[in-house]
Structures are given as structure tokens and as C-alpha cells.
């Protein structure tokens, strides 16, 4: 059993510092926990209240008679040690320390003592200086972030608090389904590698996204990430890549952002997909969590606009993915319904006069063709077709053939294009507003495939 | 007078190939022209109709008694030559040839003959193989694209048809105000340089965006662009940057995408901001068209999330913009209202507990400080503040101090963040959903400033 199992599947959660004051963190966390539908027992702890949000309130964790696996701590930093002692004696296994005012402001000793105390009772510490955590399979939202996280298969580990909370909201807007969000903060005890090991075994997680400023134990991270990458893609936003960024990171969490080249090498060797921006990360998450891994690198691009096709070709080439001629039989079949001047090279240009049906037919053919490994669909909103019509054509073809190959869709245009993207997103079909983003996201799948092949070879050779 | 003046400010426009059939291009163009509110005279031309959309229909341009400066041509390619003859004899100055089936499908001779004929009458040809053009100051929308283009100061020249039409729609969704959209297609006659010369003198245009696969006369483009860049930024999406992309471009418009390095050098020497993606281009358009050019490079970053600050610092550094310590007096003033653990380095981290008012005060101080040239504002949606509240704080500070310095805003979060971005967009304040995009767009202004300084020095030295 993974040592963090009971953090994510606790029988009971105590919220120490629970509050009746609606703007207090201790109130917000308790409220999210109750409203998001956690099925275990929830215990507010606050010596100066008898009831909060309809629940009986306890003066201390040790006064709770039921089993408490997790203690969420939101009290002033000077009071955290006594809470740890009390919770530890009461048999709690995990302290989720939201409280800030530790290493990030120079209180190194207090932080070290926090961990020492917890260890004395066999407790693990998440944080301190965090916004809590989410685990949707157990309906846990023990954060003061947005409530309605969408359940799904993506685990998100974040070293940054405010950015992390904001990105929780972004996952909802972007339709990204979450298995877990873990605010990891100062990483005084539980670190990225510990969480990777848990998510590796977690059947509810298939993609892991990390916002990282630095790691404490680089060697262990590489070891664990190399193992996890064999089964599940890991995407890392490595913040503080530049000297200026590293300086900013140091004044933020006090973490050493470290040598950029070292990190890049470590990521590549451990099969980690390193990205530069939040947008890239989210774009990759969509293709990687909604698509199967491609069986090869033969991408076919289908477009109604030459320009979109050129932009996608450029992006794919930048990403080391090179388009080859589409399979002969695919070209022959498509030729039957497109105009004579349509290009049947790759990109296949259905021309600006292409109706929805040509999209449906060509996508269906490409998905069914054994010599095609992935399909990139580009649609420019023209006067002749509606974005929603094309989105439906994509969905229909995919449903009929079955999602055995990765696809990525660009719907370029105005408000109607935006709606069509949302429609596809709801169906878990990765869709983007520009050809470059759709191409880059699909290329991430091929990059992951290459990394994984390399890791498999290395493991076999060893 | 610029030779293209009457293309953009015509007394009368004839639509040859006007149709009663609602799906025909000749119908859609006429309809847009009428509905968008063009104030000059519009003449449908079609020998087999007497009236279209309530207007008297003419059998030929030569039968129109009023003055016709522009003839929009949407007839089969084989009929275009006789239309040119007729319109030329009737004194038209510009033929906007929407019709396709020329050089792009190998009909080089027909295209050459089209231009030869037009020249015989002193006519200039836009196209062929285009979707028309827009000039909002004259309320001209002679395209079959979306109707409700937002008037503004951005001119957009596009070599791609379907992508160009789709991006017309994107400008509306993104709130980008347009002076002109010109579909330039095969560039048989009028090319990018001709249009740049017109937009240089056009008081309604202050930023020019070009989607380009290739240019016919590189030397002239560089000459003209170097001159225009002194006054107005030019952004170019150079498509077909890679071998694969160039191959795709060749099969698309038949244009030679040419040597990448040559283009890049030419762009840099002529002060052109070259971008790789449609999203980058639009992001840049917002900062460049809504902000003044910065007077220096001293950027101050204000954030409530350390992580967002680190990401922005990295992006700025990637773009060659390096953050220095904020001016002493600014730090002193901000220190008065932020907590002691707030970082007053650059980024200025107001901390996650920052209310709207701290944003208002620090932005106001930064904008008013003579040692600050540009302000980058990053906001992570947290439980304590609302994105709209922060957006209002930004707008208020900017209104009170006056928009004399460029700013760029990131509002990171979910649906509420999206709304706040739209609110700022409506006020022509550049706002983006991620720290990297906001930083990259602001850096574009500094890049433009550098290019322009270089051009001024070169011009002075010569």
C-alpha cells in the first residue's frame, strides 16, 4: 500500500482552525469539503466554537472519537506545533498544513521542527504554505479554491499557491477533468516524487501535470519520473528557467530554481514533457488525457484552408514531426469527392468549398486507415459551413471508427468557432482555436511516444 | 495621392457576378457591402437579373452611368478578361478579382493576361483568388466573410483565403478593431509593399498585420517596410518557415516560401516583428494597437502570485527583456500598504492576500513613476478578490493617470477571469489568460521600440 493512500482515501478529515467567518480559510476549506460531497466524516476543530456549518465542533483532534486520517491545519504558524502533537497522539496519519510563515519567509527552524514532530508520530506532512488538496474519486476538495472541479484523470501538483488556485479555475473553464490537485508548497516532507509514486499506482490518474520551481532531491525525482513515464505522461512547467526567473522564484518560495540545463537534461532522461507556459501545459493535458498514445508517427492533416495547413506543417516541423505523403488508398478515396484542384499531399486540402460531409468522410477514412497513426483536423470558418456542423462531423466520424488513434482539432473563427470548441471539449475531443496550438498538442503525443520508447529500450538494456 | 486611395475611398463599387442566390459569393459580397453601411453607390452587375437585394441590376459595368472606381469580380475565371475590358473602358480604377482558378491551379497565362489587360486601362488588380477587402473608415465590407468587423486601427493583409476569413471572425471575437482587411491572394499586381505604402499614409491605420507565404519582390518589401516601421509596427506571420511548411505552401498558393534565414534577416533589418503563430500575432496586435510605444525598457511587474511572476520573468528574459529593481520611491510607497513579507523586488509581489485596492494603488504609483516605462500586471484569481474587481482597479488607475505607458494584464482563472478579460478588452486594455502571453505581448512593444531605434539610427547615419 502506498504510504499516501490514506491521504487520498481517508476515513475522516479534521479541519483544525475551522471558522464560522465566511472569509476565513478555515471556513472556506470546510465548506468546499462539505459541498463537494466528501463521503467520509468531517470534523471541524476549534476550541471556541460548538458548531460550524451544521457540524459539531471539537476543541482538539484528540477529542474526536471517530478515526481521523487527515488533519487539515489552518491556524497561525506559531500554533502548528501543538496541533501536530495533538493530532499525532490522536493517530492522524497526514497533516495538510495550509498555514504559511515558514521557510518561505525565513522560518526554516519552525518548518524543520514541524516535520520532526510529525515524524515522531509517523505522520506525513503536506506543505506547509499551501492551499490544500483535491482528490475527486473520494470527492475531497479540501482547498479554499473553486469548488466545482471537474472529475477526470489528470493529477496536478503545484508548488505555487495563488497561481495554482487560479489554474484550478482554469481547469473548470477549459473542461479539463481532474483526479487530483495537490498544493505542495514548501515541500517540507511530501515532495513531487512521493506524489508521482502514488499517482503511478492510482487507477484514477492517467496524466500528471507539475508546476515546479525546484526539487529538493533531483536524483530521486529522475528515478521515480523515469518509472512513472513508462505508464503515464508527466508534463512539467519548470518555472525559473532563466536567471531572472530563478531570482524571482528565490524571492517567492525561497526555492532554488537551479541550473536550467541540468533540469532540461534530467527531464529528457526521465521522459518528462517540459513546457514553458501554462497554456502549453493545458493544451498538452487535453491531448494526452483524452487520446490514446499513437502507435507510430504517421500524422495526416486534413484542412479546408491552405494557410492553416502551412502553419500546422511549420509547427509540426518545429516539434520534429515531419509529414509524409498520405497512404495511396486514402488519397484515392478522398479524390473521389473533392474537386480536381484539391491537394492530396499532406496536408490534405479539401479546399475552401468543403462541406461538413467531406470532413466526415475524410476523417473517417483517415481514422480507419491502418497506415495512419494520428489525425490533425484544421477547419477555417467560411461562409459555406458552420463550425458546429464540422465539430459534429468530427465527433460522428470518431464515434463510428472508435477513438483508437489520437486526434487534434483546430476550429478557427469567431464566436461560433468558440462554441464548437466547447462542444468538442465536452466530448473530450481536444480542440483549439488556432492551427499551431492543435498541431503542437498533437506533437506532444508523439514526443511522449518517443520518450517512452527510449525509456523502454533503456530498461530492457539494463 | 497614393495610387490605391480610390480603392479604399471609392465613389462607387460595382459587383460583377452579383447574384440573387443566397449562397453565391456574388450575393454574399453585395449583401455585406449593403449591410455594413457603405455610403457610396453600389451597382450589382449581372446580365440575367434586373434587381438584386432591392438594387437595380446592370448588364455590364459600361452601362452604369455613375462613377465606378472599384469593380468587384466574382464570375468564372474564363469570363474575367471580358469583364476587365468592359470595366476598364468604363473608367474603373481597381479590379478586385475574387475569382479563383488562376496561377494557384497552374493557369499562369490567364493570370498574366488579366494583369496585362487591366494595365492597358490603367487599372490595378487586387487578387485574383481572394475573398475581397474591408475598409472600415468608408464602411466597406466587400467580402464573403463575417459582416460585423469592429472598426479600429489595425490593417490586416492576408495571402490565405480560408484562414484569412476565419481570422476576420477571430478579430470580432477577440475585440480587435480593424481599419482594413485585404485578401491579397495571388498578388498578380497589388502586393504587400503597395498596401504598406497606402497604410503608411492612412491616418486610420496604426498597426499592420500580414499573413505571408512569400513575396515576389523581396528588395522592395524590405525598402518599404523599413520606411513604414519607423512610424507603424508591422507584424508578419511568415508561413512556410520550415521545409515541410514551404512544401505545403507551394501546393497551396503556388508561392515560393523561400529561404527562411533570408526572410528572418530581411524582417529584422526592416523592423518587422515576425511571429510564428496566429495567437502571437493577435496578442501583439492588442498591445501594439492599444498602447503607446514605451519610452524605455524599464518594466515593472505587479503580481499577487509568485508563480505567475516567475513565469512572466522567464518569458520576458526569453524575449530579451530583463527586469531591474523597481525605483526606490515606488518600492517605498508600495511597502506602506503591503505585508512585511511581500517582495518589493521586481516582480512586486503584493501577496495572495492583496485586495483590489492594493492593485489600484500600486498600478497608479507605477504608471505615475517617471522611472517606469511599462507595467505588467498579473492577477491570479484567489478566494479573496474578484477578477472583475481587479480589472476595474486596473481601468481606474489607468484612466486617472492617463495611458502614456504601455501596460499588459494577465487575469488567470476560470469563467470570471474570462469575463474580466473581456471587460478590459472592451476598454482597449490588453488582457490575456496567462502570465506568459501578457509578458510576451508587452515584450513585443519593447522589441518594436528597439527595431525603430535601430532604423532611426540607420536613417540618420545614411
pLDDT, tens digit (0-9, with 9 covering 90-100), for A423-455: 999 999 999 999 999 999 999 999 999 999 999
- Tens digits of per-residue pLDDT, B144-192? 999 999 999 999 999 999 999 999 999 999 999 999 999 999 999 999 9
d(CA A310, CA A316) in angstroms, rounded, equals 10
Determine the distance in angstroms separating the CA of B410 from the nearest CA of chain A, rounded to an integer: 11
The CA distance from B63 to the nearest CA of chain A, in Å, is 31
Relative orientation angle of helices B387-401 and B415-426, to the nearest 10 degrees: 20
From the list B160, B173, B310, the residue facing A306 with the nearest CB is B160
Q: Which of B244, B307, B316 sits opposite A160 (nearest CB)?
A: B307
B27 neighbourhood in chain A, CB within 8 Å: none
| Interchain pair A311, B413: CB under 8 A | no
- pLDDT, chain B, mean: 96
Determine the average pLDDT of the residues in B30-38.
98
Looking at per-residue pLDDT, the higher value among B261 and B96 belongs to B96
3-state secondary structure (DSSP) of residue A204? coil
Nearest to A45 by CA among A29, A35, A163, B142: A29
Looking at residue B383, what is its pLDDT?
86
Task: Tell me how far apart the alpha carbons of residues A339 and A436 are, in angstroms, rounded to a whole number.
Answer: 26
Q: How far apart are CA B78 and CA B81, in angstroms?
A: 7
Question: Given B170, B172, B412, which is nearest A167 (Cβ)?
Answer: B412
Residue B1 to chain A, least CA–CA distance (Å): 33
Widest CA span in chain B: 81
CA atoms of B112 and B118, how far apart (whole Å)? 10
Those residues whose C-beta lies under 8 Å from the C-beta of residue B396, and which sit 6 or more positions away, are: B360
d(CA A26, CA A45): 10
Contact A448, A293 (CB under 8 A): yes
Report pLDDT for A294: 97
Look at residue B256 in the predicted model and tell me its pLDDT: 56
Q: B310 and A173 in contact by Cβ < 8 A?
A: no
What single-letter DSSP state applies at residue A188? Answer: S
Give the per-residue pLDDT at A383. 86
Q: Which residue of B has its CA nearest to A244?
A: B313
Q: Among partner residues A172, A252, A276, which is closest to B349 by beta-carbon distance?
A: A252
Residue B206 has pLDDT above 90, yes or no: yes
Q: Which residue of B has its CA nearest to A341?
A: B105
Report the pLDDT value the prediction gives residue B416, as an integer from 0 to 100: 98
Residues of A in contact with B241 (CB under 8 A): 314
- Count H helices, E strands: chain A? 16, 19
pLDDT tens for residues B212-270?
999 989 999 999 999 999 999 999 999 999 888 888 887 765 555 567 788 889 999 99
Which residue in the set B170, B349, B436 is minimally distant from A276, CB to CB? Answer: B436
The chain A residue lying nearest B29, using CA atoms, is: A383
Q: Is the pLDDT of residue B350 over 70?
A: yes
> Cβ of A313 and B347 within 8 Å?
no
H or E element in which residue A238 lies: strand A234-238
Closest CA to A375 of A311, A290, A438: A438
User: In this predicted model, what pLDDT tens digit does every residue of B129-146 receive, in sequence order?
Assistant: 999 999 999 999 999 999
End-to-end CA distance of chain B: 27
Helical H segments across A53-107, by residue range: 80-89
Rounded to a whole number of angstroms, the distance from the CA of A200 to the nearest CA of chain B is 26
- Closest alpha carbon to A66 in A90, A31, A35: A90
How many other CB atoms sit within 10 Å of the CB of residue B389?
A: 18
ipTM over 0.85: yes
Check if the beta carbon of residue A32 is closer than 8 Å to that of residue A147.
yes
Residue A305 has its nearest CB partner, among B166, B304, B382, at B166
Q: How far apart are CA B160 and CA A303, in angstroms?
A: 13
Question: What's the confidence (pLDDT) of residue A14?
Answer: 98
What is the rounded CA–CA span in Å between residue B293 and residue B289? 9
Give dist(CA A200, CA A224) in Å, integer.
Answer: 9
pLDDT digits (tens, 9 = 90+) for A395-431: 999 999 998 999 999 999 999 999 999 999 999 999 9
* Domains of chain A as residue ranges with CATH: 5-288 (3.40.50.261), 292-450 (3.40.50.261)
Tell me which residues of chain A have a pLDDT lower than 50: none
- CB-CB neighbors (< 8 A) of A167 in chain B: 412
> Which pLDDT value is given to residue B163?
96
Please give the interface size between A and B, counted as residue pairs whose CB atoms are below 8 Å apart. 286
Using H for helix, E for strand and C for coil, what is the string for chain B?
A: CCCCHHHHCCCEEEEECCCCCCCCHHHHHHHHHHHCCCCCEEEEECCCCCEECCEECECCHHHCCCCCCEEEECCCHHHHHHHHHHHHHCCCCEEEECCCCCHHHCCHHHHHHHHHHHHHCCCEEECCCCCEEEEHHHCEEEECCCCCCCEEEEEEEECCCHHHHHHHHHHHHHCCCEEEEEECCCCCCCCHHHHHHHHHHCCCCCEEEEEECCCCCHHHHHHHHHHHHCCCCEEEEECCCCHHHHHHHHHHHCCCCCCHHHHHHHHHHCCCEEECCHHHHHHHHHHHHHCCCCCCCCEEEEECCHHHHHHHHHHHHHCCCCCCCCCHHHHHHHHCCCCCCCECCCCEECCCCCCHHHHHHHHHHHHHCCCCCEEEEEEECCCCCCHHHHHHHHHHHHHHHCCCCCEEEEEECCHHHHHHHHHHHHCCCCEECCHHHHHHHHHHHHHHHHHHHHHHHHHHHC
Strands B124-126 and B132-135: unpaired
Which residue in A has a C-alpha nearest to residue B432's C-alpha? A279
Note whether B310 contacts A239, CB cutoff 8 Å.
yes
Give me the pLDDT at residue A262, please: 85
Amino acid at each position: 500500500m502506498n504510504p499516501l493512500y490514506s491521504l487520498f482515501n481517508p476515513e475522516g478529515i479534521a479541519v483544525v482552525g475551522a471558522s464560522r467567518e465566511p472569509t476565513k480559510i478555515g471556513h472556506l476549506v470546510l465548506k468546499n469539503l462539505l459541498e463537494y460531497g466528501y463521503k467520509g466524516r468531517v470534523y471541524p476543530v476549534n476550541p471556541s466554537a460548538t458548531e460550524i456549518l451544521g457540524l459539531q465542533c471539537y476543541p482538539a483532534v484528540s477529542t474526536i472519537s471517530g478515526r481521523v486520517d487527515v488533519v487539515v491545519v489552518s491556524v497561525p504558524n506559531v500554533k502548528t506545533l501543538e496541533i501536530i502533537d495533538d493530532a499525532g497522539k490522536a493517530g492522524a496519519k497526514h497533516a495538510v498544513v495550509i498555514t504559511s510563515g515558514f521557510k518561505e519567509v525565513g522560518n526554516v527552524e519552525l518548518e524543520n521542527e514541524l516535520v520532526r514532530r510529525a515524524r515522531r508520530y509517523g505522520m506525513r506532512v503536506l506543505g506547509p504554505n499551501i492551499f490544500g488538496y483535491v482528490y475527486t474519486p473520494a470527492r475531497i476538495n479540501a482547498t479554499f479554491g473553486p469548488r466545482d472541479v471537474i472529475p477526470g484523470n489528470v493529477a496536478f501538483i503545484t508548488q505555487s499557491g495563488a497561481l495554482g488556485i487560479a489554474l484550478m479555475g482554469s481547469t473548470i473553464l477549459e473542461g479539463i477533468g481532474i483526479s487530483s490537485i495537490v498544493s505542495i508548497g514548501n515541500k517540507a516532507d511530501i515532495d513531487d516524487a512521493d506524489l508521482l509514486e502514488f499517482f503511478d499506482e492510482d487507477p484514477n490518474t492517467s496524466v500528471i501535470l507539475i508546476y515546479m520551481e525546484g526539487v529538493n532531491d533531483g536524483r530521486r525525482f529522475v528515478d521515480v519520473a523515469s518509472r512513472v513515464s513508462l505508464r503515464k505522461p508527466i508534463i512539467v512547467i519548470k518555472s525559473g528557467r532563466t536567471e531572472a526567473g530563478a531570482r524571482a522564484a528565490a524571492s517567492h518560495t525561497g526555492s532554488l530554481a537551479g541550473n536550467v540545463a541540468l533540469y532540461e537534461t534530467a527531464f529528457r532522461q526521465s521522459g518528462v514533457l517540459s513546457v514553458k507556459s501554462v497554456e502549453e501545459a493545458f493544451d498538452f493535458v487535453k491531448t494526452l488525457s483524452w487520446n490514446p498514445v499513437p502507435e507510430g508517427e504517421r500524422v495526416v492533416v486534413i484542412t479546408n484552408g491552405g494557410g492553416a495547413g502551412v502553419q500546422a506543417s511549420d509547427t509540426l516541423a518545429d516539434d520534429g514531426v515531419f509529414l509524409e505523403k498520405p497512404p495511396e488508398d486514402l488519397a484515392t478515396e478522398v479524390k473521389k469527392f473533392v474537386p480536381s484542384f484539391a491537394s492530396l499531399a499532406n496536408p490534405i486540402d479539401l479546399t475552401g468549398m468543403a462541406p461538413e460531409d467531406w470532413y466526415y468522410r475524410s476523417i473517417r477514412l483517415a481514422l480507419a486507415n491502418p497506415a495512419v497513426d494520428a489525425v490533425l483536423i484544421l477547419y477555417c470558418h467560411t461562409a459555406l459551413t458552420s463550425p458546429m456542423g464540422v465539430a459534429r462531423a468530427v465527433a460522428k466520424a470518431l464515434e463510428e471508427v472508435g477513438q483508437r488513434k489520437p486526434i487534434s482539432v483546430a476550429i478557427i473563427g469567431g464566436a461560433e468557432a468558440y462554441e464548437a470548441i466547447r462542444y468538442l471539449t465536452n466530448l473530450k475531443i481536444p480542440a483549439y482555436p488556432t492551427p499551431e496550438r492543435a498541431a503542437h498538442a498533437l506533437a506532444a503525443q508523439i514526443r511522449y511516444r518517443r520518450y517512452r520508447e527510449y525509456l523502454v529500450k533503456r530498461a530492457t538494456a539494463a
